[in-house]
Amino acid sequence: MTLMSNPRVKMALHGCTLTSLAVKTSQQTCILFFMKSNSTEPEPSPGITTIDGLNLTPAFTEALPGNPDSGQRHPPQDHIMWSAVMPVVPSAPKLIAWSKDMEARLGLKIGAAPEATARLLTGHDLASGTTPYAMRYGGHQFGNWAGQLGDGRAIALGEMHDQTGQHWTLQLKGAGATPYSRQGDGFAVLRSSVREYLCSEAMHHLGIPTTRSLSLCLTGDNVDRDVFYDGNVQAEQGAILCRTAHSFVRFGNFEIHAAHHEHDALKTLADHVITKDFPHLGKPSLDVYQQWFQEVLQRTAELMAHWQRVGFVHAVMNTDNMSILGQTIDYGPYGWLEEYDPSWTPNFIDRQRRRYCYGNQPQIGLWNLYRLANAVLPLFDNNTKPLEEILGSYDAFYDDLWHQTVAAKLGITTATASDKALFDQLWEILQLTPTDYTIFFRALAQADSTDTPDSLLNTITPSFYQPDTLTDETKNAFSHWLGRWAFRVSDTGTDERRTLMNKTNPKYVLRNYIALQAIDDAEQGDYSTIDKLLEILQSPYEEQPAHQQYAGLRPDWATRKPGCTMLTCSS
């Protein structure tokens, strides 16, 4: 018995075929990957080899079944959740940036020991308590079951607790091949590592659930990459990002056990996740499984609403990139809406189908939840009814959440059902002329609801990319909507409305062309732009007059330069 997506989900996905996991699938052929000769356990380096406060424990590997053999040739196995693997020893690790916020949260002293940090957070040395491993999982990629996947370029070091007692897993991204790398080499380049380092921290300060960044290091080694898969291979600087999360478990961790009929392992994993990360639900049971799935659904819907609120496009919403905690995970070819276009995606390989475009994200979230529901069906004794009821609540939950979100974006303190027509008309007029999504809402906050239609239009004109080409018809459409909006918010105090709008609509987001400036500087050995951007992005809702140049319209050159509009998963 399987759970099928509802018609609304099917319509959003351009005819993508739904694939159930309740049927037995053949195991995907795994390519045996031979680790490099320098991937054996590293010898400790002389000097400081510890970071004050770094106390790791093997909590995940002790609690769940895995393959503890970190030999060079072992292939992935069934009935396990992780495989031990040693990081490849980098030739010249160098710390170039770290999050002071995460440093303080974890109680670490990175700044006092940059050399030790570079060695320990690249895998050059192993701290006491470190048990490096890669997780096994599967996933649906672009709508199709991809079989066994797993951490192909991520190696977890272990778990530690922060100053409040919360647990965090430290994971190295780009530290070499794992049993799940398939054809990949497991490395990452500076370009992609800077993007994830900055964006995950930016998302946190935007108030969006996300994995976090701790440190960014160079390896001293080059990595060959074909950025646009056109045969143009280039050597790029290798880098390793140490990222952290309460859990890196994904929807795909459950899917792989369901696909291989490993029902005991499925239950073990679910019970572990509930006990560890959903303790408020109580001891795992049938009733708790239902509460857990309901909470996962709601967290996923909330994450989608957050992404839509700030104009973030993840662009690779495969089920192996969906966090069980409802956090943003795996920053690949992401992007931020500039001119408002629901069909926009920054993903080069999705430019035809646009499966993961901005407008599709909420329903892709639901489609992925159907895949998760099929995977955990054995926990419900294959009774689809409770899961169907929970899945059926998604649309109403999300729609209400998004309705309230849009109201806040427009400065409406109490949304009503009658506001929907005003909201819907907004999305239509924003497409009449290229209009910057972020700048529009910040400009609108400055409008005075008592102004004339012409004055209101002048207030939002800075958000137009082609203001000189506006037709009278377009001007009239905007003026009409602005008049309706002004009347709607006229009974709210100006200061109250502006405060609500400016804490809902960020002024600073990590536009791709801005991230590229940090990357270009870093590739030339100047890491100061990374630090400057991180400082700006830590206060995204503040005006910050000294940094106004990072809050303007996308420059013309950015429409033509690679890495600004279309990106790939190349890392």
Give the active site residues: 320
Cβ distance 311 to 439 under 8 Å?
Answer: no
- What is the DSSP pairing of strand 167-173 with strand 233-245? antiparallel
Cβ distance 358 to 341 under 8 Å?
Answer: yes
- Beta strand spans in 298-384 (E): 312-313, 335-336
Residues in Cβ contact with 62 at an 8 Å cutoff, skipping those fewer than 6 apart: none
Q: Tell which residue, 281, 301, 314, 296, has the closest CA to residue 396.
A: 301
Q: How far apart are CA 54 and CA 130, in angstroms?
A: 10
In the block, which residue shows the tokens 């292939």? 75
Q: Which two tokens stand for residue 357?
A: 């475009």
* Rg, C-alpha atoms of the chain: 24
The one-letter code for the residue type at 361 is Q
Q: How far apart are CA 506 and CA 484, in angstroms?
A: 24
Q: How far apart are CA 299 and CA 132, in angstroms?
A: 29
Q: How far apart are CA 265 and CA 142, in angstroms?
A: 26
Residues in Cβ contact with 304 at an 8 Å cutoff, skipping those fewer than 6 apart: 361, 362, 365, 398
Residues in Cβ contact with 87 at an 8 Å cutoff, skipping those fewer than 6 apart: 39, 42, 122, 123, 124, 132, 155, 172, 175, 176
Question: CA end-to-end span of the chain, whole Å?
Answer: 39
Q: How far apart are CA 120 and CA 159, in angstroms?
A: 14
Task: Please list, residue by residue across 224-248, b when 16 or more beta carbons sit within 10 angstroms of its beta carbon and e when fewer do.
Answer: ebebeeeeeeeebbbbbbbbbbbbb
Q: Which two tokens stand for residue 34?
A: 């031979």
Strand partners for 97: 216
In the block, which residue shows the tokens 């009409």? 480
- What is the DSSP pairing of strand 188-189 with strand 233-245? antiparallel
Cβ distance 35 to 69 under 8 Å?
Answer: no
Distance of CA 345 to the CA centre of its chain: 15
In the block, which residue shows the tokens 């590293």? 42
Q: Which two tokens stand for residue 239?
A: 């880098």
Residue by residue, DSSP assigns 511-545 as -HHHHHHHHHHHHTT--HHHHHHHHHHTSTTS--G
In three-state secondary structure terms, 320 is helix
Q: For every residue of 192-227, which 3-state class applies, written as one string? A: HHHHHHHHHHHHHHCCCCECEEEEEEEEEEEEEEEC
| Phi, psi (degrees; rounded to nearest 5) at 528 | -70, -30
